[in-house]
Amino acid sequence: MSSRSHRHFPGLLIRKNNHWFDALYNACAAGHASGVRLLEEERMKPEPRRKMSEMAEDKRRQRGLVDHERWNELRRRWS
């Protein structure tokens, strides 16, 4: 046999260096057969759509350096 990392058979190529894949496949098959399942990812609910007027108001408020909500709260408190 040659020192190459694979052998040829008629219509088939067999590689010697697939032991990691074989081990992973066998472990997955054994786990599945014994009832082990992967957890599903939590699906995040999409945020509700906002009106364009709300988005424009947020953008207008972010333009300046003043926190308008806090400013209005302070004005109401001290008026």
**Token output for 60:** 């207008």
Which of the listed ranges 1-5, 57-61, 65-69 does the model predict with the highest average pLDDT?
Answer: 57-61
Statement: the pTM of the whole predicted model exceeds 0.85? no
Token match 């057969």: residue?
33
pLDDT 10s digits, 20-45 = 788 888 998 999 899 888 877 778 88
Looking at per-residue confidence, does 16 or 36 come out higher?
36
